[in-house]
Structure 1
Amino acid sequence: MVTLRRRLAMNLLYLRALLRRFRTTALMAVLLFGCMPLVYRWRHVGADGHAVSLGKALRHVYFLLYGQPSLDVDDSLLMFLDMVIPPVGIAVLVDGVVRFAYLFFARHRQDKEWFEVIAETFKGHVVVCGAGRVGYRVVVQLRSLGKDVVVVEKREEAAFVAVLRDEQVPLLIDDIRSPQCLPRTNVKKAAAIVCATDDDLANLNIALDARRMNPDIRVVIRLFDDDLVAKVRDTFKAEALSSSSLAAPAMALAALDPRIVHSFRIGTHLMVVSVFEARSGLPGLTISEVRDRFGGLTLSMRRGGKGDEWLHPSGDTRIQAGDMVTLQAEYKDYKQLRAFTMEPEAPVYAHHGEG
């Protein structure tokens, strides 16, 4: 959710980026409306023999932009300016003002120039390539952590394009492999890039291009080919993740034990997260005793199964009957803890050689 304060800050950053981009237009405006009237006041003499007022000189310059001079000049320099100001003013100033107004007041439009200006306001942001299910969840997680995110997606009809636009996430519809695409994301000032498209080759190309433009950028690559993961990590010094390797442990353990809410690997160790309702065995033990006896790290507790969840309870906290305790442990330790609590034994996870 974008707060009012953050939205105001973004608007100011966006305005500053626009002014920086249109500095030529600003300089032309100063030259035309600041300097030119002074030249006319200096050189032009009216029928009464007096110099023209500054206000009339300014009005003359203004109407020259529309080809409607208000002064009848006979000075050679002023006649030259009368011929030069209209085309120069229209070509540079008027065009710049129209484009500036368009970009500032039509920011809801998802064109490439709008996206590029928005990206210029960011520094230390994360570029997410791919607006599919994985890419969208990455964006949601990053934004919940307070990180600025820009998204690139090749297809207008991708699953979460409309959702991202509704949430006011800067989104570029473009082929990520085109030479102009990554520079538009301001990748040179980005902290990280997440390559989450459904094409392994495209993800590798994105990673190489991003590292070439920004040698210090952190690269995270989603790969479908498990054989490429280790090679990419070693060769590109990037964090390569395989969807199948991440999902396999969770799916296997979910099939064996529905009480396991999450699983992951740390080296060769299979770790699980599960929720225990303290009925038998656990009541009377402290958090430290559960850790020392069973290797179970208590992540959270809900007293009596009600109320707010209490994260990271202290080691001397004593578990009471009815408490809901979320524990993290290695799978074999988890099975021992289930046996201790006198719950039905979980089936053996034979694939990992544990019984």
Structure 2
Amino acid sequence: MVNPRHRLAMNVRYLGALLRRFRTTVLMAVLLFGCMPLVYRWRHAPLDGSRVSLGKALRHVYFLLYGQPSLDVDDSLLMLLDMVIPPVGIAVLVDGVVRFAYLFFARHRQDKEWFEVIAETMKGHVVVCGAGRVGYRVVTQLRALGKDVVVVEKREEAAFVSVLRDEQVPLLIDDIRSPQCLPRTNVNKAAAIVCATDDDLANLNIALDARRMNPNIRVVIRLFDDDLVAKVRDTFKAEALSSSSLAAPAMALAALDPRIIHSFRIGTHLMVVSVFEARDGLPGMTISEVRDRFGALTLSMRRQGSRDEWLHPSGETRIQVGDALTLQAEYKDYRQLRAYTMELEAPVYSQRLDSAS
């Protein structure tokens, strides 16, 4: 759900961006309805010698837009204005007012001009290219962190296009490699761009164009070719991630030990995250002792019988029987800790099903 304050701030910024974009229309409206009635009041002299009221002068200017003057003028300047105001007003003012109202009230997510105005209101936002599974999860995580996000997707029928629109995420349907696409995302003021399409070449093209338009932008590229990852990181100075390299450790370790809930690499070190239930060995130790002895960081802790998760417990906290600890450690240290708790071998899947039933 969108925070009401955040929604109000977005609407105010959006209105400001519209006023900047339609400043010619605003100036024309001020000139037409603010200054022209004063001119008619000054120069128009009825037969009885009394000046025309400001309200009648304003009404005359208004109806001139429709070619229906309400005053009979014989002054040369006013006659010239009677001829100039209708075509100029229709060409500039009416067209601008209609487009302004359309963009402000309609706000169609598939409209490129609407998207461009929304992007103009943002600064330090993140541009996500691709509305597939990866792109959608990136958007969800960024929004949970409070970041402004805009999304670009080439295909209207992409998996999460309708979902993103329902969640009121600014979404542009366009070919990301077209010359006008990235400028519409206000990439010059963006903090980062995430290239998450399913085409390596397209992701690289997007990254190069974004870096050319904004040399300080942080670039994150999703690549399927593992050979390109290291080259892009070294030569392009961008964060390149391979889906297969990210998934491989998790899949391999899940096959060996289903108790491992997450895994990742830091350089050459394979790190794992797992939940330990304090039964043997751990009760009586402190959080600091577990870290110093096994190199395991305690990410969270939950006391037996409690549903509250205690993030980053202090080092002096003493572990009790039945405590559930979420620990992060290098894989070899994790194995040593499992051995210390007398449960080195991973549980057999069928046995876990039997115990659960």
TM-score in terms of structure 2 length: 0.95
How far 1:109 moved relative to its partner?
4.1
Q: Which amino acid in 2 is paired with 1:208?
A: L
Q: Which residue of 2 aligns with 1:119?
A: 119
Q: Which residue of 1 aligns with 2:58?
A: 58
C-alpha separation in 2, matches of 1:292 and 1:237: 35
Q: Which residue of 2 aligns with 1:23?
A: 23
Checking the alignment, whether the CA contact within 8 Å between 1:119 and 1:150 is kept in structure 2 is: yes
How far 1:37 moved relative to its partner?
1.0
Checking the alignment, whether the CA contact within 8 Å between 1:127 and 1:149 is kept in structure 2 is: yes
Checking the alignment, whether the CA contact within 8 Å between 1:287 and 1:316 is kept in structure 2 is: yes
Q: Deviations over 1:271-311 (max 9, x none)?
A: 00000111111111111111111111111100015321100
Q: Which residue of 1 aligns with 2:341?
A: 341
Q: Which residue of 2 aligns with 1:78?
A: 78
Matched, 1:248 2:258: no
Checking the alignment, whether the CA contact within 8 Å between 2:153 and 2:172 is kept in structure 1 is: yes
Checking the alignment, whether the CA contact within 8 Å between 2:220 and 2:239 is kept in structure 1 is: yes
C-alpha separation in 1, matches of 2:186 and 2:156: 21
How far 1:230 moved relative to its partner?
1.1
How far 1:53 moved relative to its partner?
1.9
Checking the alignment, whether the CA contact within 8 Å between 2:109 and 2:165 is kept in structure 1 is: no
Q: Which residue of 2 aligns with 1:353?
A: none
Q: Which residue of 2 aligns with 1:48?
A: 48
The size of the alignment, in residue pairs, is 347
Unpaired segments ≥5 residues, structure 1: 348-355
Q: Deviations over 1:79-107 (max 9, x none)?
A: 11111100100111111111111111111
For residue 151 of structure 1, give the secondary structure of its aligned residue in structure 2: strand
Checking the alignment, whether the CA contact within 8 Å between 2:191 and 2:217 is kept in structure 1 is: yes
How far 1:247 moved relative to its partner?
0.7
Q: Which residue of 2 aligns with 1:98?
A: 98
Q: Which residue of 2 aligns with 1:281?
A: 281
Unpaired segments ≥5 residues, structure 2: 348-357
How far 1:259 moved relative to its partner?
0.2
Alignment of 1:288-327 (within 5 A): 288-304=288-304, 306-327=306-327
Q: Which amino acid in 1 is paired with 2:233?
A: R
Q: Which residue of 1 aligns with 2:142?
A: 142
Q: Which amino acid in 1 is paired with 2:79?
A: M
C-alpha separation in 2, matches of 1:322 and 1:54: 84
C-alpha separation in 2, matches of 1:53 and 1:325: 82
Q: Which residue of 2 aligns with 1:351?
A: none
How far 1:77 moved relative to its partner?
1.2
C-alpha separation in 1, matches of 2:110 and 2:177: 19
For residue 301 of structure 2, give the secondary structure of its aligned residue in structure 1: strand
C-alpha separation in 1, matches of 2:314 and 2:51: 86
Alignment of 1:147-186 (within 5 A): 147-186=147-186
Matched, 1:34 2:48: no
* Runs ≥4 residues deviating over 6 A: none
Checking the alignment, whether the CA contact within 8 Å between 2:127 and 2:193 is kept in structure 1 is: yes
Give the percent of matched residue pairs that are identical in Structure 1 and Structure 2.
90
Q: Which residue of 2 aligns with 1:232?
A: 232
C-alpha separation in 2, matches of 1:12 and 1:53: 36
Q: Deviations over 1:103-157 (max 9, x none)?
A: 1111144210111111111000000000000000000000000000000000000
C-alpha separation in 2, matches of 1:316 and 1:38: 80
For residue 313 of structure 1, give the secondary structure of its aligned residue in structure 2: coil
Q: Which residue of 2 aligns with 1:265?
A: 265
How far 1:233 moved relative to its partner?
1.1
C-alpha separation in 2, matches of 1:236 and 1:47: 80
Q: Which amino acid in 1 is paired with 2:152?
A: V
Q: CA RMSD in A?
A: 1.1
Which sits farther off after the overlay, 24-33 or 105-114? Answer: 105-114
Q: Which residue of 2 aligns with 1:188?
A: 188
